[in-house]
Amino acid sequence: MGVLSEELRDQIRAQFPKYPNKRAVVLPALHLVQDAQRSVSIEAVREIAELLELHPSEVHDTMSFYQFFKDEKHKLGKHRVWVCRSISCMLRGGEELLQHMCEKLHVHPGQTSADGKITMEFAECLGACEGAPCILVDDEAHMNITPEKADALLKSL
Amino acid sequence: MPTFEPTLLARVGKPDSASLETYLRDGGYEGFKKALAMPPVDVINLVKDSGLRGRGGAGFPTGLKWTFLPKDHAGPIYLAINADESEPATFNNRILMEEDPHQILEGIAISCFAIKSNKAYIYLRYEYGRSYRVLQKAVDECYAKGLFGKNIHGTGFDLDVVLHRGAAAYICGEETGLIESLEGKRAWPRIKPPFPAIEGLFRKPTIVNNIETMACVKQILDRGSAWFKSLGVPPDPNNPRDAGSYGPKLYCISGHVNKPGCVELPMGITTRELIDKHAGGVWKGRKAKAVVPGGISMGFLSAEELDLPLDFNGPGKAGCLGLGTAAITVIDDETSMVDVLFNCARFFAHESCGQCTPCREGTAWMHKILARIRMGEGQLRDLDLLVEVASSMGIIPGTTICGLSDGAAWPIKNAIKKFRGEFEEYIRTGRKTVKPSDALMEVH
Ligand SMILES: Cc1cc2nc3c(=O)[nH]c(=O)nc-3n(C[C@H](O)[C@H](O)[C@H](O)COP(=O)(O)O)c2cc1C
Ligand code: SF4
């Protein structure tokens, strides 16, 4: 018995029929593991590789390319909050919003609040520019965010 | 001229517009049925005749791209749908996916039939969680209704559609980066040729098309190629390389306007009309200083260039890289172009995949120079240095694998040319507009 539960393994195996080879399941598997465990540990990388019949370095190579996936030293909080810093949000106060939210949680982008609840990050364009400045809470966009709205949102998490 | 009526966005905002039930009630999947009764090559010809050019940024003729597939290939042939939409300020694909997913899926089904593919992968950027849930539900509805799966409508045509989520990296939108990522690898663009149509996903012939392109395909099946060609602008006789800009187009408007949003208009609308008539004008009663005509890779239009038409050919006449994604960002006259350009440079430095030295080093260098200028420590010769660095990188001088580096270099060259006076003034007076949040972000 490793770090991946049998349930998680089954969820990964359920992806196999969608693709002509198992390597294509690397991203779906990393998503499933990170969602469940808030990071992808080296042990998890080994076990994913075993399931996909790859060398662990192949899984790690892919994983490390996407800053999206975190190793065990950078475990995510319960929620991940992204503030968009791209052009349309920047023009309407996105960077000030990031500043405000980081101060509120006493963190730098990439860090997790002391209570382990929220990991703050900056995002390149979130594609919700009509509602700039916008933020992403886990994978749901929230638009036209003021500092007050941000405070209320953080409180509700 | 008859008044223009939106078609791609016609169902957006209606109650339950994302459900199969309302879609069928509105005549949905009739185009797919029509296609199924045609020889696939006729569907390709219909799309060719319409003059449709891909909406993903490069504007390559869609029907022509489809004919690059090898004839009588034993298969599999794949359709990879580019739903990565990461070009800053672009959000039209998201609106379509969230509000009218079946329009996209029908376009995908028609396209698969035309190119003899039985499998489509939709590569969806991770950030679009809502799109993911809406699309997944729509895909499930199609399977339940027998619109996807085996032997559709008893025609012997099989189709599987798989949604695949990305992991927040801009380079996954480049077509071969997308393919590598979908295959479970780092999204490193491939050297071309071979082009994906010959050797693409899983080393099989593959067509990569954008989400909005799929919506256009669906509309062409419903309304015909003559309808599509009746909208937009014919080729410029003075430009032998212009293939015309036909059909309706989704324009996203954001930045300093009163009413940001996504509007559908015929190709060829001017930036000024778009801002004044459709986006409620520049906010706070100010004036536009510059406009990004199609995602930040394209460069800038100055205030004097707002009457140029936004078709595939227009922005190029003002020294922009092209129409790109038709994502218009309006920058008001109280904003510093140094801040704007710094923002663009930072984006590309962060998103370069690092494979090619001129791109990896060039994007980082341009970012650093602009950061220095913004700190009030720039020197006039930095401007020439920026242009020099920008001019040495990209597919156009032939030093890199993909177009990201051209997209990174273009706004630099373009902005310094058009706004040089402002940059010089900034440097000479030792202005400093660096923000406290910049210090935060360095720690990341
Ligand atoms: C760096 C880079 C990023 C790109 N991002 C996207 C994107 O997010 N969505 C998209 O459809 N095309 C994107 N493209 C263009 C694609 O490579 C490709 O041309 C397009 O998906 C083809 O679809 P179309 O013919 O339907 O336009 C990008 C290109 C480059 C060079
Ligand atoms: S041009 Fe840049 S982004 Fe494209 S492959 Fe080379 S390094 Fe990567």
pLDDT of residue B310: 95
Smallest Cβ–Cβ distance between A139 and the set B87, B129, B252 belongs to B129
* Token pair of B358 as six digits: 């001129």
Using CB atoms and an 8 Å cut-off, which of residues 91-150 of chain A contact chain B? 91-92, 95-96, 98-99, 102, 108-110, 122-132, 136, 138-141
Residues 6+ apart with CB under 8 A from B183: A23, A24, B201, B202
Count, residues in chain B: 444
Give the chain A residue whose CA is nearest to the CA of B87: A125
Give the chain B residue whose CA is nearest to the CA of A86: B88
pLDDT band at B241 (very low <50, low <70, confident <90, very high): confident
**Alpha helix segments (H runs only) across B116-210:** 129-144, 175-182
Burial A124-153 (b: 16+ CB within 10 A, else e): bbbbbbbbbbbbbbebebbeebeeeebeeb
Tell me the C-alpha distance between B292 and B254, whole Å.
10
- pTM, two decimals, is 0.97
Region of poorest pLDDT, from B69-83, B324-338, B428-442: B428-442
Tell me the C-alpha distance between B83 and B393, whole Å.
27
> A124, B436: Cβ pair inside 8 Å?
no
Tell me the C-alpha distance between B72 and B116, whole Å.
9
Residues of chain B in contact with residue A65, where contact means CB-CB under 8 angstroms, are 169, 186-187, 353
Query: Which of A38, A22, A108 lies closest to A79 in space, CA to CA?
Result: A38
| Whether the CB of B85 sits within 6 Å of ligand 1 | yes
Which is the closest atom of ligand 1 to the Cα of B175? 17
Indicate whether B225 pLDDT > 90: yes
Tell me the C-alpha distance between A80 and B435, whole Å.
24
Mean pLDDT of B211-228: 98
pLDDT of residue B444: 43
Indicate whether A42 pLDDT > 60: yes
| DSSP state letter for B257 | B
> A139, B126: Cβ pair inside 8 Å?
yes
Burial B114-147 (b: 16+ CB within 10 A, else e): bbbbbbbbbbbbbbbbebbebbeebbebbeeeeb
The share of chain A scoring above pLDDT 90, in percent, equals: 99
Question: Omega into B194 within 30° of 0, i.e. cis?
Answer: yes
Strand B160-165 to B248-255 pairing: unpaired
pLDDT of residue B439: 82
pLDDT band at B436 (very low <50, low <70, confident <90, very high): confident
Question: Omega into B76 within 30° of 0, i.e. cis?
Answer: yes
**What does residue B164 show for φ and ψ, rounded to 5 degrees?**
-130, 125
Mean pLDDT of A90-101: 96
Distance from Cα A35 to the centre of ligand 1, integer Å: 28
